Structure 1
Amino acid sequence: MAPAKPLALIHARIVDPGTGELREGGLLLRNGVIAAHLGPAERLPADTEVLDCGGKCLAPGIVDIGVKVGEPGERHKESFRTAGRAAAAGGVTTMVTRADTTPAIDSPETLEFAARRAAEASPVRLAPMAALTKGRQGREMVEIGFLQDAGAVAFSDGDHVVADPKVFQRCLAYATSLGALVMAHPQDPGLSAGAAVTSGKFATLRGLPAVSPMAERMGLERDLALVEMTGARYHADQITTARALPSLRRAREIGLDVTAGISIHHLTLNEFDVGDYRTFFKVKPPLRAETDRVAMVAAVAAGEIDIISSMHTPQDEESKRLPFEEAASGAVGLETLLPAALRLVHSGELTLPQLWRALSLNPANRLGLPQGRLDPGSPADLVLFDPDAPFVLDRTMLHSKSKNTPFDGARLQGRVLRTYVDGRPVHVRDGH
């Protein structure tokens, strides 16, 4: 088979999270990698295929931490095929998948099954996480070494907090000996049990079971004390309250290897969006006060919150069309992550390079992946997008099997025009 011709993407606005620059230029792709950066009048090899980007933005593909795919066990909610198509349409070139499947990804066999299915069905890359404890039950540690050998990039029980500190300490200590990353959900499990919203006047008026924002800080401080004890590599999947930030700062000041993330929903929505018990806005942890949302955006801009993710959690209609207290938590986000995040750019709260640092470079660095950057020699995983293209989201048009998005009917700006994995187009919007 003859090698593919080099591809030059020219006349683009390059979003480079590594240098923090937004500049005019282009990229030359060859054999699946970025071969060179191109200037405005660069001479190209004679056999080069050329795509004029028309001044649109070209950036590293998104590395999305915390994507739930229903296989195995809940394929009716999301399959690798539908999740992969949704990811490609959303500019996500690497899905870092969660282990909260049925059964959980807690053995090399289930991990290899997921990797094989993704290779067969998904047009984008898979970087799988594995569970931290067997069955995500918080009692017995998984075989971390064997799962690492099978390809696990991190270990997490998801929103099942390992309540027993002795068990969590053992997991962290063993992960430390292998250099494995542990990703945890900082919540006090007792305080947050059964909660549907964040405590406050709104929760009281709606008569809904609520949890104090202090539950997040308490859970984080417990985790950080054990990280200090063991020296583990630790990532908090979602820090969503201003009260948790001082704990995070102190951990970094004393040299702990700690990073933190947040979902796009907690950066762009607040507790009032629940409105009249709208279950598509029920997520975990629950949406917070507007003061917390603003503080989290500032923390992303300052680099205190490292990673933005979709926390893509597909739920079928039956599990969402219930009273708010009983409805399942979670929202899909693979296709809405980019346009929702661009709200923060259009409002002047983040620059495009700052946003891409959190969407691509930082998650790739944290997981030891070569993606998320534009350095020559890096994988040619890219997204070409128009940050200003307006549209109204129609959830029925999403590629995901489940349509539980809080952005249904929302006016958004930002369209993905093309997505490349290894220099090959895996999504091309009509007319582009």
Structure 2
Amino acid sequence: MFVNLTNKFQTIFNKIRNKGKLNENDIKNCLHDIRIALLEADVNYKVVKEFMDSLYNEIQQEKISESLTPTQQIIKIVNKEITKILGSTQSDIKINSIPPTIILLVGLQGSGKTSTSVKLAYYLREKGHQPLLIATDVYRPAAVEQLQALSEKCNLPVFSMGKTENAVNIIQAAIKYSLKMNYDILIVDTAGRLHLDEKLMNELQEINKSILLQEKLLIVDAMSGQDAINSAKVFCDKIKVNGIVLTKLDGDARGGVALSLKKVLGVPIKFIGIGEKVNNFQVFYPERMASRILGMGDVLTLIEKVENVYNENELKKIDKKIKNHNYDLNDFYFQLKKMKNIGSINQIMDMIPGFSNIKNNINLEKLENKDSELIKIEAIISSMTIEERENPYLINGSRRKRIARGSGTQIFEVNRLLKQFYQIKEVFKKGSKIKNLSFN
């Protein structure tokens, strides 16, 4: 996420980091480099101009050239200004005190609208709501079936009707159904098009006019560049969307769309999609995203993710075992499964301050715990006796052969697992900072 822009900011800051004080020429060159970095990241040129003007004024007011820590001051100001163009504060979705709350999702075909509707429903269910998905795309072949298939995987309900019904009738019928079944949030997955056309806009305007909507969320593909912003303007003008969901952000190396949307449209980004899995969906916090763009990590989001997958007793139990040097293979496998729910190694490293530089020199493919690898690890550990799991040092050559045979794996795979376990245990024994980041 934003790797190109992050690397450029790190290079810019490194140029001035070792200088005691900065003269006017140093500051001028720094600002020039920041401007070029933003333009190369495909940030809207008007946004860049406004950003640079504001940044220059802040630097002049702070009298950076007279500061004892000029680099820290500049980073602080840049972080503040990026937070401002991202929206300054987190923007919640509006939930009706009297159900149902109706959320309309709109966007072009291919932006990730259907998968986002499922992710949003899953997110809201985790927050204690009872969401119902409404399929209104009766034009695209298999669109309803796609929504149903994605929803079935996480046991989410879908309301649909015949292909001849129009969207307004479907939504009105779904509202009556939700009142009987006690669904408190209705998420409407609308039809999309490969391009903006009159038919699409007429249908959305008819929904907007006929249905009392609490939220109108525009789904924007972060990888579409400035074209996404141009089409987003039309949705904002025609149906007055009040929030944006930025999808495929994990694949956006530049960051231009994310840094342009709020300023150009005047509409807040409310959620981001950062992967294909149903839980790869996050509330958008401008200040946290600014920190990540500058390579400063996002520890708050990481802590929240850890707290979501571990309960307090699990954290205390693991922490106690680590402190008492009783950490075993059962604990190792338990944590691997938990880490899978937190996110990929790549995503986790993005959230740890300083790791954005380190990860560029690491082959992350070898570190990622794919589903197939977890299945293999589970098979190997399941083939061990209880005594072997609790005390892996008992596992000699003959035992390794038996474990490999019992798990349907090769001896080198058993050896690799044990090596990884011993390395992790050694890190814990030395009291590494990683322990504090992951478990406290």
What TM-score, normalized to structure 2? 0.29
TM-score (norm 1): 0.30
Quick check: which one's helix share is greater? 2
More strand by share: 1
